[in-house]
Amino acid sequence: MNKNSYSHSTRNGRRARRKQHIPKKLALLSLFASTLLLVGGGVYIAHALQSRSTAKETVDDQDNDYNKKEALLLEKIRQDQKEAALASTEQTEVTDKVQTLLYDPVQKGAIPRFSALKNELATMIDTVKRKHSNQQPIKIVGQVKMSNVTDQLKNYQPLLTIYSWDEKNRSWSEKTEPGATSDFVNQKNNQELTLTDLFTSEANLLAVQQVIKQKLLDDSPDGNTVIDSILSMPNMSLKNTSFTYHPDKISFNLPENATGSKEVSLAYREIAEYVNPEFVDQASIKDALVMPLDPNKKYISLTFDDGPNPKTTPKLLDILKEKGVKATFFMLGQNVVKNEAIVKRADEEGHEVASHSYSHPQLTAVDAERIKTEVQNTDKVIYHAIGKLPTDFRPPYGAVDPDAAAIISKPIIQWSVDSQDWQSHSIDKIIQRIHDTEYNDAIILMHDIYPETVDAVPIVIDRLRAEGYEIIPTKQLLGNKAKPMHMYYGSTDERPIQ
């Protein structure tokens, strides 16, 4: 064998061996890759199985957490109902993720307007259901809630409590929605609250009507343009007046009038002297009631009729100012028109400006239309002068009967001591007459149109004070609670006009 043949054979052998090694390497690589795939796949499968198991455990934990908190919530809701003042029965309804728990009072007959309350409650529940997105569970708790306004007055009102599941915080949120309808019930007779409950008499309601008229004028941009309509409003009555009770105020429906107002609301503190405290929260009239006069002191009132007079009334006002005395002026409308500045001064200096009719007729001897004209025209001119309606009235000659009193619709302030200045026109006799007839709680009648009366006043004041009297206006003497259809001779001498 030559050298070349050997070399060639050797090379061929090496090539053959290389060809034999390639499949082996490929097989090894394939085996290695398969092993990796098997190992990796196993790891992946194991991890996937582990993750799936963990996720399932998490879901199970969350479900358990939700179920536990749901159970606690339902337990709380039912416990609250057991402790509620109004005993009830539960009706439950579940639709998708909405659970409704409706609580019906056991004693429905104790709630006069139960049907209206239940209908509103049903409407409220339907509204919540329509708005619910169904993404998270909610629970709707509907009930008629009872609350005590006073010992004698209870309120029944629809109430929704909505509990929504907050997935992020894993908790229930709470929202309360009260209904618009309230049923206020007098516990004495288990009937709806009435104006008779609140004000006890037509007289008190007429006193409230005076407050309403003044409020309408105060709220008007120009009271003088609507005063006729306001003064002509028909008198309110306990049976025929529509109202809405609120815990802190009362709203009255008004007849059609020039102000355009359909309703007026008064806080109870504005009418504290006329409202029955059994049916209003005491906090709403706290500090509004007038403190009674000191029983250990003596009080007396000076009143002046028939003015104002341009010559005598300003001098009288000077004297009263110097002496620090407040009085009551029962003015004639025809004199107010001619002396508005004097009327305004009397009001600004703290005196009470009251009505004595327009032209001084005997009201029991004229017809109803004349009485109405006399009263309303005087109200108008006094309002024009001082921006306030007179609240008290003294009939000329003290003459009044039930028909006239109903038209006047103001407290009737009489007198218990007559100075008889209209008869004597004597300073000394005026002073002596008052001295001989004065007593604690008396209302003294004088006239500011007589010069002799004005000259006697400073001496009268000094003597009264020397005898221990405190001189105050009649409104203060009567405790700011005088009412129409009654006449007053003093704070302890009140007489219904019958």
Choosing from 132, 183, 197, 305, the catalytic residue is 305
Q: Among candidates 350, 313, 308, 305, which has minimal Cα distance to 475? A: 350
Active site residue 462: no
How would DSSP label each residue in 290-319? Answer: PPPPPTTSEEEEEEEES---TTTHHHHHHH
Choosing from 132, 351, 356, 447, the catalytic residue is 447
How would DSSP label each residue in 369-410? Answer: HHHHHHHHHHHHHHHHHHSS----B--GGG---HHHHHHH-S
CA distances from 27 to 16, 42, 113 (A): 18, 22, 93
Query: Please, what sign has the CA dihedral across residues 231, 399, 354, 308?
Result: positive
How would DSSP label each residue in 463-484? Answer: HHHHTTEEE--HHHHTTT---T
With a CB cutoff of 8 Å and minimum separation 6, the contacts of 70 are 137
342-377 b/e (C-beta count within 10 Å ≥ 16 → b): bbebbbeeebbbbbbbbebbebeeeeeebbbbbbbb
| CA–CA separation, 33 and 36 (whole Å) | 5
Residue 113 φ then ψ, to 5°: -105, 35
Contact 121, 156 (CB under 8 A): no
* Sheet with 263-267, side-by-side order of all strands: 243-245, 249-253, 263-267
Contact 196, 238 (CB under 8 A): yes
| CA–CA separation, 80 and 83 (whole Å) | 5
Q: Which two tokens stand for residue 121?
A: 């409650």
Active site residue 447: yes
What spatial distance separates the first Cα and last Cα of the chain, rounded to whole Å? 165
Q: Among candidates 178, 157, 192, 193, which has minimal Cα distance to 85? A: 157
**Interior angle at CA 231, CA 389 and CA 335, nearest 5:** 50
| CA–CA separation, 101 and 95 (whole Å) | 12
CA distances from 206 to 220, 238, 271, 393, 427 (A): 21, 10, 11, 14, 40
Contact 101, 77 (CB under 8 A): yes
> What's the Rg (C-alpha) of the chain?
45
Q: Which two tokens stand for residue 424?
A: 């004597």
- Return the active site residues: 305, 447
